[in-house]
Structure 1
Amino acid sequence: MPFADNTTTDPPVRLHWQERGTGDPIVLVMGHLFSGEMWYPVIPALAAEHRVVWFDNRGAGRSGATSTATVSDLAADVRTVMDAAGIERAHVYGVSMGGGIAIQLAYESPERVRSLVLGCTALRSPTLQQPPLRGPFLGKLRYRLPAGLTRGLRKKGLYGSIAPADAVERDLDTIAKLRWSPRGVYAQDLAIHGYDMTPDKVAQLTMPALVLHGTEDKAVPYGHATELLEALPAARLVTYEGAGHNFIVDCTERANSDVLAFFGEQASTS
């Protein structure tokens, strides 16, 4: 199991990463709380044509945890994994918080990002409604709740009306087996609340971008997709009617097909 040490942030952190396939590299960046294991609906399809690298964000899975973090720190984690994998430039595909990290990476290191795929995510704008940031004690306590108590809430919050029932149950079973550090995930909360990728910053990102969003996303409402589309100079939007926040489970085959077609376009124009 490969590990990489990010010594560029204070404090440093050890990151667990994996790879599969050959070809043009794609780096996957997962969202809040979940480890890279949650890319399971995506990896087989993408790895059939590309070299796919994924990792656990700090605080999740087998990666280390820190008590504080910024989105810039999380973007530095992506660069660390890319360096460890020997990848100078890649397509970067992020979902939810991972999409924000991908945007931050593209802003700080545009030379490392060949194209962006941004799923169920947002830029920083007046319409971005974030849950209140709890203090450290309560903030960490909610991440210690038994999986059985949160399964119902996730079932209501993550998926849309088109989600196949068996796919939802498999996904919830996968989530129930994940591990994370309450301290580390609270640091992710701190990073999200400090997120400052505003429309004027995002407008500087000239690489091709694909925005993916479900119309029934309860965590990041669909309007944020149109804001991203308007801010990004070279973006297009794919809308998934009836899909929720976890669109990669709700409409797996269609989403994977859309992403592969987008990457294929980049290969033909490079």
Structure 2
Amino acid sequence: MPFVQSNGARIHWEAQGSGTPVLLIMGHLYSSRMWYPLLPALTRHHRAIWFDNRGTGDSDTTPGVTIEQFAADALAVLEAAGERSAHVYGVSMGGGIAAEFAMAYPERTRSVTLGCTMLKTEKTRMRGAQKLIYGLPRWLVRAMFKRAKPEAYGSAAPREAALHDIGVLSRDRFTMAGVRAQVLAIAAYATTTERARDRMTMPVLVLHGDEDKAVPVEKGRELHAIIPGSRYVEFKGAGHNYLVADNAGSTAAFLDFVAAADRARGGE
């Protein structure tokens, strides 16, 4: 099991497949295990590199982490995998990390895909309900996952796929201190539209479900409008987890986008 040290934390990562590299950044609370809907198709065409964000999976938990540090962890993983640059794909909080990665390390970013996320331009604070949830014991949070409803995945989501995902998530590994640190990192982060326009000059793909309750679809549309030349794909009847709600459509949209970016680069 490979690990890399990154600013005081041991980060677990994996790689599989061959071809142009794709660096995958998962969202809040989930470990990289939750990329399972994409990996079979992705690894047939590309070298997929994925890792557990701090506080999840087999990576360390550290207090006081920032979105910038999550992006630096992603860079450490990329270098540990022996790659200088990659197509970068993040979902939810991972989409925010992917955007920060692209802005901080544009020379390492062949393209960037931003899924079910937004460009956060104002710092916020943890709300009362969040403080309550992230103060619960882990066993109780796991029990809440098991009671999740398939309908939350969107009206077009296959019921069996949603139920399977709920089961996988209920067994996923995280620490309460780690996911609380993630929420605080999200709240403390802000960037600017000017920085996004100036720094994200590589090919950009924005993906969003039109029934997303966690990050409203309007935020995805705004993100697309902010970044000149970006491509936008919206999945009808998909909630926040469009990887499950429209696995075929979201996988095809991403692979087509990366293939076009590779052709534009001359197959480097």
For the residue of structure 2 that corresponds to 1:145, the secondary structure is helix
For the residue of structure 2 that corresponds to 1:141, the secondary structure is coil
Whether the aligned pair in 2 keeps the contact of 1:133 and 1:139 (CA below 8 Å) is no
Distance 2:155 2:126 in 1: 24
> How many residues end up aligned between the 2 structures?
264
**1:173 lines up with 2:172 in the alignment:** no
Of 243, 247, 268 in structure 1, the residue corresponding to residue 242 of structure 2 is 247
Offset, 1:38: 0.2
Offset, 1:147: 2.2
For the residue of structure 2 that corresponds to 1:267, the secondary structure is helix
Whether the aligned pair in 2 keeps the contact of 1:68 and 1:184 (CA below 8 Å) is no
1:77-115 Cα deviation digits (max 9, x unpaired):
100100100111100000000000000111111111110
Of 40, 43, 48 in structure 1, the residue corresponding to residue 39 of structure 2 is 43
Summarize the alignment of residues 109-188 of structure 1 with structure 2, pairs less than 5 Å apart.
109-125=105-121, 132=127, 139-141=134-136, 143-153=138-148, 155=150, 157=152, 159-188=153-182
Distance 2:52 2:116 in 1: 19
1:114-135 Cα deviation digits (max 9, x unpaired):
1011110000147x99861678
Offset, 1:218: 0.2
Report the equivalent of 1:101: 97
Counterpart residue type for residue 187 of structure 1? A
Distance 2:139 2:154 in 1: 26
Whether the aligned pair in 1 keeps the contact of 2:63 and 2:177 (CA below 8 Å) is yes
Offset, 1:23: 0.6
For the residue of structure 2 that corresponds to 1:148, the secondary structure is helix
**1:54 lines up with 2:50 in the alignment:** yes
Report the equivalent of 1:212: 207
For the residue of structure 1 that corresponds to 2:147, the secondary structure is helix
Give the share of equivalent positions with the same residue, in percent.
Answer: 42
Whether the aligned pair in 1 keeps the contact of 2:16 and 2:47 (CA below 8 Å) is yes
Offset, 1:154: 6.0
Counterpart residue type for residue 193 of structure 2? P
Report the equivalent of 1:266: 261
Of 87, 90, 104 in structure 1, the residue corresponding to residue 83 of structure 2 is 87
Name the TM-score, length of structure 1 as normaliser.
0.92
Whether the aligned pair in 2 keeps the contact of 1:103 and 1:197 (CA below 8 Å) is no
Closer, same or farther: CA 136–247 of 1 in aligned 2, 3 Å: closer
For the residue of structure 1 that corresponds to 2:134, the secondary structure is helix
Offset, 1:67: 1.5
Closer, same or farther: CA 135–237 of 1 in aligned 2, 3 Å: closer
Whether the aligned pair in 2 keeps the contact of 1:122 and 1:224 (CA below 8 Å) is yes
For the residue of structure 2 that corresponds to 1:118, the secondary structure is strand
1:125-176 Cα deviation digits (max 9, x unpaired):
47x998616787863426552423333346454x111000100011000001
Q: Which one is further off, 58-67 or 230-239?
A: 230-239
Whether the aligned pair in 2 keeps the contact of 1:133 and 1:189 (CA below 8 Å) is no
Whether the aligned pair in 2 keeps the contact of 1:72 and 1:101 (CA below 8 Å) is yes
Q: CA RMSD in A?
A: 2.0
For the residue of structure 2 that corresponds to 1:193, the secondary structure is helix
In the alignment, structure 2 segments of 5+ residues that lack a partner are none
Offset, 1:236: 1.1
